[in-house]
């Protein structure tokens, strides 16, 4: 069984003395997976054979392209998708795809020249897909969605799942005309049936959202499961949410815990928060307050405001981690500066000495500015390494209902 993710919020507030730390965490205002509507987008087309997807990576071409990119290109679409593995052209004896290697390094004209030469033979779907990427993002060539569509279609006719995925994204976003979710769904299905995890996840989103298409949670769960099996962590999170609520699938808390833990391990920050709550409460997974504190700290260091608040509460009373009220105040002040107040933690701050409050505020100012750059010296004792999902139960977890 695969994984899924759910954004967690909310915390039942109790008395100041106990600091409300029964983390029976009804956590305030939960945000449903249904509200995560960003589609998965593949940063580039990838050469054959297709690598197994892992954690997402940034849009290729981060290195300034010496051969320039068109200013007319749209900003890259946000979302989660399996990464592309590119050849290392400077590795001794390397025999990778020169065009894709050039594209990755920002040498777009070199990539264009090589891809055009290969595509001229009429049988190189990878080269055609790369040409679609170049024109679709306006790098090395003027931005031209019509030419991008033409190259993607040629590659799709040769059976490229990447090309079908790219065409689906163009239909979904209206890059070459009006947005059409039904056409996008057909293209995503073609790609997903060939094992494209990002396409399967996007198809699941379309069924879950039910905007231009009829909502069908069973179909959504089916396609999320296919994507989750390929370690697309957005799909793991989404499927875990469905399993927790029994929406479109049989309710299965242990199965949800397995998936949430896998998504957390892959770096899905919201899943890390949700999995921490499950571990703290022993809900679907073995109770483990120390592991929960470690996950909260990890997500807090990633900038998640909910995690910052929850970790502050744990530090304030010493649950799962050593008690440190100054560190608790620091994390609370960072969360509060971003709009998440907490009267109970305000009381903790008020009970500090003037020197301790000044130190907490100084740390909050410092870490609020550059938290994303490094975890060294962050407030609070270093937590033990987060534990991964527990061992699967002996009996198989309930599977999502098969799609019609």
**135-156 residue pLDDT tens:** 999 999 999 999 999 999 999 9
Report yes or no on whether pTM surpasses 0.85.
no
Residue 394's φ and ψ, nearest 5 degrees, are -60, -40
Supply the pLDDT for residue 357: 96
Per the DSSP assignment, residues forming a β-bridge with 27 are 10
Lowest mean per-residue pLDDT among 1-5, 195-199, 342-346: 1-5
Lowest mean per-residue pLDDT among 149-163, 227-241, 270-284, 357-371: 357-371
Q: Whose structure tokens read 């279609």?
A: 153
Q: Does 392 score more than 80 pLDDT?
A: no
234 touches 199 (CB < 8 A): no
Q: Does 17 score more than 90 pLDDT?
A: no
Supply the pLDDT for residue 8: 25
Q: Does 229 score more than 70 pLDDT?
A: yes
CA distance 224 to 258: 15
Residue 351's φ and ψ, nearest 5 degrees, are -85, -10
Q: Confidence class of residue 111 from pLDDT cuts 50, 70 and 90?
A: very high
Supply the pLDDT for residue 22: 27
Lowest mean per-residue pLDDT among 109-113, 325-329, 382-386: 382-386
Q: Confidence class of residue 58 from pLDDT cuts 50, 70 and 90?
A: very low
Q: Confidence class of residue 378 from pLDDT cuts 50, 70 and 90?
A: low
Q: Confidence class of residue 1 from pLDDT cuts 50, 70 and 90?
A: very low
Q: Confidence class of residue 250 from pLDDT cuts 50, 70 and 90?
A: very high
Q: Confidence class of residue 97 from pLDDT cuts 50, 70 and 90?
A: confident
354 touches 383 (CB < 8 A): no
Mean predicted lDDT score pLDDT of the chain: 77
Supply the pLDDT for residue 21: 30
Q: Whose structure tokens read 């290969």?
A: 118
Q: What's 206's DSSP letter?
A: H
How many percent of the chain have pLDDT more than 90? 64
Q: Confidence class of residue 300 from pLDDT cuts 50, 70 and 90?
A: very high
Nearest residue to 333 (alpha-carbon basis) of 363, 373, 293: 363
304 touches 273 (CB < 8 A): yes
57 touches 36 (CB < 8 A): no
Q: Does 36 score more than 50 pLDDT?
A: no
Between 13 and 267, the higher pLDDT residue: 267
């Amino acid at each position: 069984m695969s994984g899924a993710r759910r954004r967690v919020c909310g915390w039942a507030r109790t008395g100041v003395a106990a600091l409300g730390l029964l983390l029976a965490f009804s956590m305030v205002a939960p945000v449903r997976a249904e509200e995560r509507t960003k589609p998965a987008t593949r940063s580039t087309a990838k050469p054959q054979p297709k690598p197994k997807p892992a954690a997402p990576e940034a849009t290729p071409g981060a290195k300034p392209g010496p051969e320039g990119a068109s200013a007319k290109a749209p900003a890259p679409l946000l979302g989660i998708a399996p990464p592309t593995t590119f050849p290392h052209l400077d590795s001794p004896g390397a025999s990778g795809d020169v065009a894709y290697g050039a594209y990755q390094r920002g040498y777009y004209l070199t990539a264009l020249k090589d891809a055009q030469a290969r595509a001229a033979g009429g049988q190189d779907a990878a080269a055609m897909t790369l040409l679609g990427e170049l024109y679709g993002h306006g790098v090395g060539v003027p931005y031209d969605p019509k030419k991008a569509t033409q190259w993607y279609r040629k590659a799709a006719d040769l059976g490229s799942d990447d090309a079908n995925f790219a065409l689906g994204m163009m239909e979904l976003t209206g890059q070459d005309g009006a947005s059409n979710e039904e056409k996008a769904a057909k293209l995503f299905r073609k790609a997903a049936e060939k094992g494209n995890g990002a396409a399967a996840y996007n198809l699941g989103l379309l069924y879950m959202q039910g905007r231009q298409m009829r909502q069908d949670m069973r179909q959504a769960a089916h396609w999320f499961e296919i994507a989750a099996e390929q370690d697309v962590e957005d799909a793991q999170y989404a499927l875990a949410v469905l399993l927790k609520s029994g929406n479109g699938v049989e309710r299965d808390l242990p199965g949800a815990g397995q998936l949430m833990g896998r998504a957390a391990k892959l770096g899905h920050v919201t899943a890390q928060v949700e999995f921490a709550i499950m571990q703290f409460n022993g809900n679907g997974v073995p109770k483990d307050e120390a592991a929960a504190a470690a996950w909260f700290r990890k997500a807090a260091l990633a900038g998640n405001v909910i995690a910052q608040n929850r970790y502050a509460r744990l530090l304030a009373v010493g649950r799962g981690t050593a008690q440190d009220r100054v560190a608790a105040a620091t994390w609370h002040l960072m969360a509060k500066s971003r709009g998440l107040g907490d009267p109970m933690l305000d009381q903790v701050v008020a009970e500090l000495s003037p020197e301790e409050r000044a130190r907490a505020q100084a740390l909050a100012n410092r870490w609020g500015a550059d938290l994303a750059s490094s975890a060294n010296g962050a407030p609070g004792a270093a937590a033990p390494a987060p534990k991964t999902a527990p061992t699967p139960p002996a009996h198989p977890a309930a599977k999502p209902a098969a799609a019609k």
